[in-house]
Amino acid sequence: MNLRQLLPAALALVSAGAYAPTAHACGGFFCNNSQPVNQAAERIIFSQNADGSTTAVIQVQYSGPSESFSWMLPVVGSPDISVSSNAALAAAQNASNPQYTLTTVVEGDCDNGGGGILRSAGAEDSSTNAPPSAMDPEVNVVNSGSVGPYDFVIISVDPSASDVALVATEWLQENEYDVSELGRDRLVPYLESGMNLLAFRLTKGRDAGAIRPVVLNFGEGLPSIPLRPTAAAATDDMGIMVFVVGESRAIPANYLDLELNEAAINWLQPNSNYGDVVTQAANEAGGQGFVTEFAGDSSMFEDAIYPEFVASQWESIQELEGFQLVRQSAGLFQGWDGFSDVILAEVTKPAEISEEDWNANPINYIFSAEIDFTGLSSESFINRVQGEVVDPVLETAALFAGNRTVTRFFTTMSPDEMTMDPVFDFNAELEQEVSNLHTATRTIECSRGVMQQDATWRVEFENGVTVRGESTNWPLADIDTLPAMRTSRRVGTTGEGEIVTDNSAQIISTINENNRSHPRNFGSGLFAGGVCSVSAVGASQGAGSLVMLLGLVGLVALRRRNA
Amino acid sequence: MRIFFVLPLMLVGLAGCSTVEPPISDPVFEVGTGTWRFEELGDGQPVDLIRGAQGGWHVWVAVRGNAVEDGDMVIIETERADGAGTVQRVELQPNFDPENNAGFRNYLGWPAMLDGVDCLVGELLRVRATLVGADGTMMTSERDILVMAGADPPPACAQ
């Protein structure tokens, strides 16, 4: 496999204060933010079908010369192959991104104003190349053809060959599948067990921009990701996002199930370090664990992937002809895989545009150039759009139909961690819903003599933990100082599983230490210190008030004794 | 009174000097099965084939040890117990789980793919795991398991 993976982008206070003035409006500073994290990752959908078979939609990320692109997958037999659309996978991701909502409240009055409560892929089969020839008696071509922008071949290798991986890779190289950088040894276990190799390359004349997700329909069995061959060309901390659709919540059968330490996420800018927190958590778990980011009903994904308004607009557009048909279709589908190919196939190139420019971005000229639409066949155009652009998205949306359960997993892995293929199974006894919505409340502690942007604040999480900080800095963003993983556990197909690592105590200890370093600033040089600012969990304002009162009583008693 | 308090202190001091370190338990390395917890295996114990969606069948293999360290290598081999067929072998550098309450570190959920699985149902499969320490010391554990068809059985043996 000669696959270049894009690097993944990176996806509270001590309570017990004695001072509790009325909350005011935010006044424009430190306002609520509700931010989804949108991490880059290789995305995969596994859907268990009603007949027990599994459909996999696999996104391929690649940057490099198109002639060097190849992608391989060990399979048994000859699965059905088609293409999907990056738009479908992007929609599934957007519908379930973790979202961090910080509700901001301002206590008291700062010098610059008070605050308030604020609430933040259709299969072509038009082979233009001659089918690959087996020639080597140890290699059998099981199937070959073209689908979307790809040529593909499925080969089987005689398991008794002296070096099965060498035989396979040499054959593929000879048949113009560039697998020169593949770690051959990683293929050995699959080939020796009798599995076939499915290999893809870009059809001649297609560029890397045409790469779109591949759909494979397998037989019955547990979804699994063949990570070991991927390691040969993966980059460090590669994002892997998996959607598993089935009758109940999915679990990583042989990987750890990770729970993140929410305090490690920068709630002020969650997109800035979410991916890093996941990477750190996965590393703390030995490199083989998944975070469950979402679990819930699958129906909303179907509409998110192919919304009703798109279906309605497309239906209306099909009543049009000529330039209206093309331009309005472009307005709806220009970001969808395959639409450029339809334009190239159905629309006459403007005379003043070069062949190279037209091929590179035909949609760009639909709205700007003088195009002769008189020769356009509306029926042919509509059929192509339906078959090559819309149907792949519809078919992916259909994988989520039927009010089943979708579980979304995310992790990052480096090549040296890709030593075991993750397998997914189902557990109907676990809590079936995992929300992607995370909320916390931040209280800005205003006082006279303190500017709001410099004021201390406390963030209180739903689990009772409080983190203190000040200004616009998240004090725990330096995640080397505390675990990114709260717990890891192993989960089977029944029961709650078993905790393997629990970092809760260390997390609380680190938060307490942080909170001691961010005492409340009452302005005029007065700070709340000592016991009032210490506890990260469960301390109430009432308890803090009692401590302060006792302190004052003690002070009065001491002065009377000395008098 | 003072002598009374001194003597017990001297005795305590002498008692500390004679403290003996408890013996280290013998190192143990064992092959078993399981994905989310280690399951012991006995010779002849039935184990289901697990079918993967991409096709192919495997059995879950797990290992545990009380003297394993990060960086140790584990070699997993499977072959028919009667010696027919080939040995399938894989070398791993596993990330063992942290030590559990029983003093073991587990490596769970290895999908050991099998050759000729259609003719393995009802047969004994030898599963052998070898731990190779950084200093070259080796410990081996093996079990002969009875391969069962499982929920999604392979095609019938053609032989």
B53 contacts in A (CB within 8 Å)? 46, 54, 56, 218-224
Chain A residue at shortest CA distance from B33: A254
Task: Name the amino acid, one letter, at A150.
Answer: Y
> Is the model's pLDDT at A450 over the cut of 80?
yes
A80 close to B (CB below 8 A): no
Weakest mean pLDDT among A94-103, A136-145, A456-465: A136-145
**Which of A58, A191, A195, A222 best probes binding to B when mutated, by most B CB atoms within 10 angstroms?**
A222
Quick count: other Cβ atoms within 10 Å of Cβ A537?
A: 16
Q: Work out the percent of chain A whose per-residue pLDDT is above 70.
A: 80
Contact B51/A at CB under 8 A: yes
pLDDT of A21 over the 80 cut:
no
CB-CB under 8 Å, B37 with A220:
no
Residue A120 has pLDDT above 70, yes or no: no
pLDDT band at A131 (very low <50, low <70, confident <90, very high): low
Per-residue pLDDT for A539 more than 70? no
pTM for the predicted model, two decimal places? 0.82
**In chain B, what is the greatest distance between 2 CA atoms, to the nearest angstrom?**
93
pLDDT given for residue A33 in this prediction: 57
Task: Tell me what pLDDT residue A517 has.
Answer: 92
Q: Are A11 and A271 in contact (CB under 8 A)?
A: yes
Contact A286 B96 (CB under 8 A): yes
Per the CB < 8 Å rule, is A420 touching B92? yes
Top pLDDT among B21 and A380 is at A380
Q: Are the Cβ atoms of A189 and B95 closer than 8 angstroms?
A: no
Please say whether the dihedral angle defined by the alpha carbons of residues A446, A452, A458 and A459, taken in this order, is positive or negative: positive
The mean-pLDDT minimum among A251-255, A329-333, A480-484 falls in A480-484
pLDDT at residue A439, as a whole number? 93
Q: Look at residue A134 in the predicted model and tell me its pLDDT.
A: 54
By the 8 A CB rule, do A457 and A30 touch?
Answer: yes
Question: Is residue A371 very low, low, confident or very high in pLDDT (cuts 50, 70, 90)?
Answer: confident
Q: What is the mean pLDDT of residues A238-261?
A: 96
Contact A396, A56 (CB under 8 A): no
pLDDT at A195: 86
**Could A76 and B54 be called an inter-chain contact, meaning their C-beta atoms sit closer than 8 Å?**
yes
Looking at residues A491-495, what average pLDDT do you find? 96
Contact A193 B55 (CB under 8 A): no
Taking the Cβ of residue B54 and every Cβ of chain A, the question of whether any pair is shorter than 8 Å is answered with: yes
The lowest-confidence range among A66-70, A139-143, A267-271, A518-522 is: A66-70
Query: Would an 8 Å CB–CB cutoff place B93 in contact with chain A?
Result: yes
pLDDT exceeds 70 at position A308: yes
Specify the range with the lowest mean pLDDT, choosing from A254-258, A419-423, A541-545, B148-152: A541-545
Contact B95 A286 (CB under 8 A): yes
Q: Which of A74, A491, A492 sits opposite B54 (nearest CB)?
A: A74
Q: What is the mean pLDDT of chain A?
A: 81
Q: Which residue numbers in chain B have pLDDT < 70?
A: 1-24, 159
Nearest to A528 by CA among A537, A538, A518: A518
Residues 6+ apart with CB under 8 A from A383: none
Chain B nearest CA to A293, separation (Å): 20
Q: How far is A284 from chain B (nearest CA, A)?
A: 11
Comparing A367 with B2, the larger pLDDT belongs to A367
Interface contact A490-B35, CB threshold 8 A: yes
Give the pLDDT score at A40: 64
Chain A residue numbers touching B37 (CB-CB < 8 A):
490, 492, 498
Task: State the pLDDT at residue B69.
Answer: 92
- Comparing CB atoms, the residue among A52, A74, A490 nearest residue B36 is A490
- Least confident range from A117-121, A281-285, A397-401, B21-25: namely A117-121
| CA distance to partner chain B, nearest, from residue A28 (Å) | 48
Residue the block writes with tokens 């155009």: A381
Whether B153 and chain A come into contact, CB under 8 Å, resolves to: no
**Res. A544 pLDDT band, cuts 50 70 90:** very low
Looking at residue A14, its pLDDT comes to: 21
Q: Which residues from chain A sit within 8 angstroms of residue B52, using beta carbons?
A: 221-222, 224, 423
* Residue A526: pLDDT band with limits 50, 70, 90: low
| Interface touch B86/A490, C-beta < 8 Å | no
CA A483 to CA A506: how far, in whole Å? 8
Please give the backbone phi and psi of residue A92, each rounded to the nearest 5 degrees, phi first.
-60, -40
Question: According to the model, what pLDDT value does residue B22 have?
Answer: 46
CB hemisphere CA count around B23 (13 angstroms): 3
Nearest alpha-carbon partner for A196 in A73, A301, A105, A347: A73
Query: E strands within B56-157?
Result: 57-65, 73-80, 88-92, 105-113, 124-132, 138-148
Residues of chain A contacting residue B153, judged by C-beta atoms under 8 Å apart: none
Check A194 against B115: CB less than 8 A apart: yes
CA dist., res. A196 & res. A190, Å (int): 8
- Please answer yes or no on whether B113 and A193 come within 8 Å at the CB atom: yes
Tell me which amino acid residue A151 is.
Answer: D
Beta-sheet strand order (sheet of A289-297): A80-83, A214-220, A53-58, A42-48, A238-246, A405-413, A289-297, A256-260, A485-490, A498-502
Choosing among B33, B51, B54, which should be mutated to test the A contact, i.e. which has the most A CBs within 10 A? B54
**C-alpha distance from A192 to closest chain B C-alpha (Å):** 7
User: Quick one: pLDDT at residue A234?
Assistant: 75
Residue B71 CA, distance from chain mean position: 16
Chain A 275-304, residues with CB within 8 Å of chain B CB atoms? 286-288
Mean pLDDT value of segment A242-260: 97
Q: Where does the pLDDT of residue A282 fall: very low under 50, low under 70, confident under 90, or very high at 90 and above?
A: very high
CA pseudo-torsion sign A535, A536, A538, A540: positive
> CB of A393 within 8 A of CB of A85?
yes
Contacts of B12 (CB under 8 A, 6+ apart): none
pLDDT at res. A525: 52
Size of interface A-B (CB pairs under 8 A): 116
Which chain A residues are closer than 8 Å to B54 by Cβ?
A: 73-76, 79, 195, 216, 218, 221, 224, 226
Cβ separation of B92 and A224 shorter than 8 Å?
no
pLDDT, tens digit, 9 for 90 and up, residues B23-45: 447 899 999 999 999 999 999 99
Yes or no, beta carbons of A224 and B111 under 8 Å apart: yes
Residues 421-450 of A with CB under 8 A from B: 421, 423, 425
| Strand pairing category for A256-260 and A289-297 | parallel
Q: What does the pLDDT read at residue A498?
A: 95
Range name among A12-16, A426-430, A446-450, B16-20 with the lowest pLDDT average: A12-16
Single-letter code of the amino acid located at A311 = A
Predicted local confidence at residue A345, as pLDDT: 94
Predicted-complex ipTM score: 0.81
The number of CA neighbours under 13 Å toward the Cβ of B56 is 26
The pair phi, psi for residue B107, each rounded to 5°, is: -130, 115
Taking only the tens place, the pLDDT of each residue in A341-359 is 999 999 999 988 999 999 8
Residue A185 has pLDDT above 80, yes or no: no
pLDDT at A138 over 60: yes
Q: A448 — phi, psi (to 5°)?
A: -65, 140
Q: Which two tokens stand for residue B30?
A: 């064992």
Q: Which two tokens stand for residue A480?
A: 């080397």
- DSSP structural state of residue A473: B
Of residues A381 and A78, which shows the higher confidence score?
A381
Residue B158: the pLDDT is: 78
